[in-house]
Amino acid sequence: MTATVTLYDPTAARREPEDAPGTAKAALAGLAGKVVGFIDNAKPNFGVLAGDLGELLKSKYGVKQVITRRKRSASVPANPEVIDELASVCDVVITGSGD
């Protein structure tokens, strides 16, 4: 007996960032004078990675300030207050994972 298997591809078509809802229309021209935020997901070593990367961004690329906020756990989203704060003061925010 022959069985039929139907496969569905769940991936959506790729969209350019300008088309994605809630994204900025323009990319940063550079990092000099910018404020960079990190959302630390509380996994081991992310704090070390973010600290080192923050210092590199300041010394090599002229980043004005680095702001880091830590989530209580990797399994929960960042508090809306943290997201609102970083969105209001940062030019770019990086979320990360460590281990």
- pLDDT tens per residue across span 50-95: 899 999 999 999 999 999 999 988 888 899 999 999 999 999 998 8
Give how many domains the chain has, as a whole number: 1
* Residue 31 forms part of a structural domain: no
Residues in the chain, total: 99
Give the span between the Cα atoms of 47 and 44, in whole angstroms: 8
* Residue 75 forms part of a structural domain: yes
User: Per the confidence metrics, is the pTM higher than 0.75?
Assistant: no
Tell me the one-letter amino acid at 23.
T
Q: Which residue range forms the structural domain that includes residue 64?
A: 43-99
CA angle, corner 56, sides to 24 and 64, nearest 5?
55
* Residue 56 forms part of a structural domain: yes
Kindly state the average pLDDT of the residues 9-29.
Answer: 64
pLDDT band at 16 (very low <50, low <70, confident <90, very high): low
